[in-house]
């Protein structure tokens, strides 16, 4: 309890000077404070070259230790703890972000920016740890979510495609068939027949 109170007492407050340091990636401020982004759960040095976060999502700390105690993870790009984040842990961060944001437009560049790494390194490391590329994982998540909606809802194929982050229905159908062997419509029909057989209903 005392540790948490001390942590709260030591939280830094945002000033225009500190915000400018973050925007300008100013290394002069590296030993003065650290900033964390609440939407990603990652904390950085002021000099970090990652995309500038929304000001309202930023939380400041006097030390890396305080950010760690508050359950923020160190940025892989700027290494605020001066230690390398284990590759498997970094990939877990990326997977978590994809799982929570698969409905959004996601590219390799977007993921690299959000997860603080280069596109090349992210692609290479992700495949090394998981066995598939980030894009393949995104597709896998989207198709699995779509399949569940096809089985358990009456929503149109176009609506389902949009809801899983694929606004182009034609592309969605092509990708779905490539990944599952059937089109979305065929998949839904086959499932309805299967359910009918299980309930003792035949044509």
d(CA 138, CA 126): 12
Report how far apart, in Å, the C-alpha atoms of 108 and of each of 135, 140, 182 are.
7, 15, 27
Pick the closest to residue 93 from 66, 65, 125 (CA basis): 125
Q: Which residues are catalytic?
A: 44
Biggest CA–CA distance in the chain, Å, is: 75
What token pair was written down for 108?
């390799």
- Judged by DSSP in three states, 44 sits in strand
């Amino acid at each position: 309890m005392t540790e948490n109170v001390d942590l709260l007492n030591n939280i830094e407050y945002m000033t225009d000077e500190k915000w400018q340091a973050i925007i300008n990636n100013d290394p002069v401020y590296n030993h003065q404070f650290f900033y964390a982004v609440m939407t990603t759960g990652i904390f950085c040095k002021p000099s970090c070259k990652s995309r500038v976060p929304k000001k309202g999502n930023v939380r400041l700390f006097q030390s890396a230790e305080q950010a760690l105690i508050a359950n923020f993870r160190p940025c892989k790009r700027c290494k605020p703890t001066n230690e390398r984040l284990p590759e498997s842990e970094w990939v877990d961060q990326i997977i978590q972000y994809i799982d929570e944001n698969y409905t959004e437009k996601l590219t390799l560049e977007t993921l690299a920016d959000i997860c603080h790494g280069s596109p090349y390194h992210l692609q290479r490391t992700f495949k090394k740890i998981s066995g598939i590329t980030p894009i393949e994982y995104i597709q896998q998540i989207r198709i699995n979510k779509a399949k569940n909606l096809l089985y358990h809802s009456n929503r149109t194929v176009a609506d389902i495609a949009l809801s899983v982050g694929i606004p182009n229905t034609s592309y969605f159908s092509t990708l779905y068939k490539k990944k599952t062997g059937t089109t979305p419509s065929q998949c839904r029909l086959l499932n309805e027949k299967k359910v009918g057989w299980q309930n003792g209903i035949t044509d």
